[in-house]
Structure 1
Amino acid sequence: MKRLANSLFSGFEERRVTLPQTDFAVLVGGSGPPVLLLHGYPETRSAWHRIAPHLLSSHTVVVPDLPGYGWSRVLQTSTGSGSKRWMGNQLHAMMRELGHHHYAVVGHDRGGRVGYRLALDFPEAVTAYVSVTVVPTPEMWEGSSKAFGMGAWHWFALAQPEPLAETLLSGNPRMILDSSLNKMAQGIARLHPLAIEDYRIAFDDPSVRHAICEDYRAGATVDEADDLVDRAKRRKITVPVLVFWEAGRRYGGGREPLDIWADWANDVSGKGLEGGHMLPETAPGEILEILLPFLRRVWHAPSA
């Protein structure tokens, strides 16, 4: 498959990091404290092309495709493959392979779910966590409604057993993709043409669509179970958390995102932004205005 992400990331080097279970396609650039950028559905690492270059002067920036998404391949499945805990384990091993034992995580959408799992499971490694348009998975399911189901139909459809979900996506992948992008970006024309084409090429691949379905199946099962265990034990994210959300968005019971995250983390700040769901591409300037000072404030050089 043709790789278009490189054209959007001046100053980055294409790397492959091969682990026993995952072969990662990753872009790396810059120098300084490491920052791991994680994309969401139905995207690839290209989702960060309006954010990542602006971090190069102050940070080492690592931008992978999530396992199974884009050009990162799952080589060997195991119990829990597709879960956010499994993805987090793979990404943590990837960062260590790149020489980064401490790093901040910025995650959008599905990548945001992997990101908070990393912060919970590897508190000795994650120095800060940034959530973009995400609240924890149990909060989403518990607050679900007719409006949520109509607006986020893929949460339910893609979690259906194999091969039903894969068959549904195979009928007209590009129509489904473009419809999703148009809705989430509040107009597909707001996205860069090369990013759109990168998403289309990846989504054309049946193996990518299968990995996406496995991601959503985990979200309806093991991911929720893992989060509920942590919530029952009152485990919290101990590093600073920055939250961006869609302006005006409320969750189950009309709760504010900051109030929800205060139940899951000790140090939470953030802001609602205009631009729909795909804020890294539709509101990059507003994100960077807050993200860069946050990363400077929270970084400390941990002891080895």
Structure 2
Amino acid sequence: MTVHTTSRHDDDSDAELEAIISERRRLTGLAYRLLGSLAEAEDAVQETYTRWYAMSRRQQDAVESPGAWLTTVATRVCLDILGSARMRRERYVGEWLPEPLPGRTDWIGGRRGTEAAHAADPADRVTLDESVGMAFLVVLESMTPAQRVALILHDVFGYPFAEIARITGRTPAACRELASSARRRVRASLPPQAPAAHQARLVRDFKEAWDAQDVEALIGLLAPGATFTADGGGVVPAALRPIRGGEGIAHYLTGLAARASGGLTVLERTVNGRAGLVLEHEGTTVAVYAFDVADDRITRIWAVRNPGKLRPWTED
């Protein structure tokens, strides 16, 4: 009879492996916020794990905190990607928008560190829901990579500035200033977030008016200074520049629906944790619409049409 035994070393190895693998969700959330692309985030996390497993067991055992090591490497990989992405986006056809995520976004939560959790001013922290909203992700695109990293690591994931300094190779004071400047940019660009239920009601009213081709109702739901931004990536037809003004947006969208061939369906869906719309043509997702709301009006609409950014919406 053969007796199979499990050594304490094997148990420890299994526990360590599980701990390493369990970091993937948090790392993906970090990378998605930094890059604005789930596909690029997954690539960055895969590269991070590749570097971990490329080390010898002795080198791995010498790492005091594997989670911190993985975060450091993932952040640096993202910084490299952001450096090359800026040049790619300059050649991008039309407007570039972050990749929208379906459903709830609690799968990409972060951890809270001591410094962020006890910050003197809670307004200096970005909530987890806000940090994956389309409005916030769009503002991140206007920041330098260093500002983005400092803000996300500190305000969202709760890392103290001393640790961010170690990750980025800057001083704690410099990282604090980077986060502060990024925070000022967010405050200047984003109004206070409307309650989720209020946005859902406005988006539902917008859908009904759009379905009815009611231009006047659409104009009434849009702020006079509203903007509509589309991202087709040069792959599918889309407005190459933002459309400004509620009246112009209403006429554009009703014309868009009138020109569409049969089989176009508009569905209410959750987009990056907030109420949005999904356009399907003969059962295939062809566009995802995210919204921003302020003062009982829709202020911004982001329409992602690039098929490469709709993968999470088309996969079963």
Q: TM-score range by the shorter chain?
A: under 0.3
Return the TM-score normalized by structure 1. Answer: 0.27
Choose between structure 1 and 2: higher helix proportion.
2
- Higher Rg: 2
